Structure 1
């Protein structure tokens, strides 16, 4: 299967599952629900759901089991973007080429939409899921919660805000992005693998090392694109990090140094999943896809 075919199939599967009438049924708070759906369906390449499905595939699991964690992690990701765009955070007007949630609706509604997307993600994963044991679901919940909180994404966002107008070193930057971006990407890979009832320690370690590498590569790529691309292509304001005087891999390593870093991380990701053989081919293709966008 080509990566394009997998991507199209997985995204169709994701959209069909999200469209199920029992996922987000009609609510009295219609405007809030509209803001949630706007934020969740506002484009995007669905990298995190793709990683959930690809990891489940690598572990030879039924992809139907991956529908729940795929949607749950995208809900958390969408919530993080809604809040990240708020005036108190990055104060951005564009997200994926469209007005950000607080512009399309209003600031209070955007805050509530983010809150609700986050809690609905955990509600989704905590209901009985046919084919998954209570232990598997509990482990998925713990994985997602840890990746979302102070030891994951939220902690990384705090470090990011704390670095504005300050000189930080490469170690600080990597710690920040391993939390802010890498934690949810790693959770995506691990939650897909957790669809398997008896995952070996060797497989878990291989996927964990792969996820660490592509999680950081994804952010290096983002920093490069913020310099070499334009607002229309990015779907968000080009040069936003520079305008806010935020440290990036480009500002610390230079453009060529950042590209070399991305290449090294790509090689590390591929090496990590060599033991998984052909079952991990789609994970390799996702790593290629991430790096190809910066070359």
Structure 2
């Protein structure tokens, strides 16, 4: 994915074709590939190229949405054409009383071990864990519930990496920024224009549930096994967590497919054509079209 340009009379040097694109196009590429959209042109291109170089094919994805009292997960499979099947999709009660009241590491460790056993990552290619924030609405102090969820998140990563090193399974464990998932799916101006963080949070939360609800009521961009569909039907009060776990895994599928498309583009014109395809695919899936 390189062209050539001349410096001086006889000096030629390689140039990445993405450097010929405008920043707006580069940011859209980052959006459609699950990458950060901040930085100058060179850093954006470097981020995209790094993602292209490190991409790996996966067909089985386990997506985890962290929570204080409940944890939602979605086990999704997809083939090379992008056809998606939801195999497992459920809420897990962390404890009848929520996370341990005190910061007792042995209790958190046992809870994390029990969770990994219930999530069953064997045979999964990629595990996605929602990255937790360290602040809430700009507060200087870290609320206790955030500290607890961060502790559980860290233990899940540690257990999965340890068991992977022991050879129990061979999967990639990824920490996913929830904002990148949200920005990929939900792009209306009214959310970004909201005056406060609380209003943005409520609008985003409702928009994500509305999107998944519309899919479930009509023709979803995936097939879903009967046992998995029961989770949605029987959890009307916790559909926000289920929505997050589904959208995170489905976004990962789209990002992976988009990187595959982008990797085949040889010049800036082909890249722009791929970007147009990415945007059209997003709009089609957003309105309920199959992957």
Give the strand-richer structure, 1 or 2: 2
Give the helix-richer structure, 1 or 2: 1
Same fold (TM over 0.5): no
Q: Is the radius of gyration larger for structure 1 or structure 2?
A: 2
